[in-house]
Each structure stands twice: as C-alpha cells, then as structure tokens.
Amino acid sequence: MTPDKTPRVAPRDAARRSYPVQRTEEQWRDLLTPAEYQVLRQGGTEAPHVGRYTETSQPGTYACRACGVELFSSDTKFASHCGWPSFFRPADGAVEYVEDNSLFMRRTEVRCASCGSHLGHVFEGEGYPTPTDQRYCINSICLTLDTDDREDPPS
Ligand SMILES: [Zn+2]
C-alpha cells in the first residue's frame, strides 16, 4: 500500500558523484580504523548484535563516523531486535540512496550524503510500529553518538 517514494541512484551514478567531503583512499585509511574502513569505505557489514549502539537508548545525536555530519536523532531510533541500530527516519538530506542488487537481493543502500560512506540499508513495509514503516538498518561502527548534555548550566 505504501508507495516507495525513496529516490535512488544507480551505483555508477553514485561513483561519479562528488561529495562535499572529499578524501583520497589513503586519507580515509589514515583516518579510520581498519574495521571502520572496511564498512564505511568498502561497503562491508558489521556482525549482528556486536555493535556498541545496537541496544542503546541514550538520548543524543548520531553522527557519521567518517565525516562527523549529523545523520540520525535518538528520537527516531527504535528497538527492532534485528541486531543493528535501527532508525525510522534520517536527518533531512543527511543520507542518499543507492540501488544494491548484490547478494541476489534488491535492497536500498544508505550512504552519508556528505562523504559518500556506506552506512547500511533501508527496508520498508515490515510492519514495525513506527511513523514511517521504514527501518534504517545502520552499522553501529559507522556512527558516533553525541549524547545530549541534559545537565543544567552552572549558576
Ligand atoms: Zn559522512
């Protein structure tokens, strides 16, 4: 019933795209740990249930581990129990979508719109009780949680 309004680009167009944050592969390797590089820059997938943010519900903002741009708010995180952090909506314009027909599946890859790093995939119509019925299934290792400072300022 829900029409798929998610705009997607083909992988070859994504490869041609220039991102606001540009780094050479060498610079990315210097900046990221080997595990981060493998997921963010090579489209790998973290093992399920091991990521540090999989079950956390701390309030805050999730930023791209590679470039630091804000991607998701903890307000849109929900307990999907799928093994990876799950969100029902990204920050406005923060991500882009790429067709992914690998592993004999039709999936939609989610990338950071600022640096082009791989983040995970988005799935729709699974019946989760969220406002969008979408599940942004994001690798924990691609994110950095900035927790909200809820303390009162010193008087
Ligand atoms: Zn990024």
Catalytic residue numbers, as ranges: 137
Q: What is the mean pLDDT of residues 2-10?
A: 64
Alpha carbon of 3 to ligand 1 centroid (Å): 28
Find out whether 25 and 41 touch, Cβ atoms under 8 Å. yes
- Per DSSP, helices labelled H in the chain are 11-16, 25-31, 34-40
pLDDT of residue 153: 56
Domains and CATH numbers, the chain: 11-15+29-147 (2.170.150.20)
Confidence band of 1 (pLDDT split at 50, 70, 90) = very low
Alpha carbon of 151 to ligand 1 centroid (Å): 29
pLDDT tens digits, one per residue of 48-82:
999 999 999 999 999 999 999 999 999 999 999 99
Alpha carbon of 31 to ligand 1 centroid (Å): 12
Confidence band of 16 (pLDDT split at 50, 70, 90) = confident
DSSP, collapsed to helix, strand or coil, labels residue 124 as strand
Alpha carbon of 77 to ligand 1 centroid (Å): 19
pLDDT tens digits, one per residue of 87-124:
999 999 999 999 998 888 899 999 999 999 999 999 99
The C-alpha angle 18, 101, 19, rounded to 5 degrees, equals 10
Write the DSSP symbol of residue 74.
G
pTM of the model: 0.89
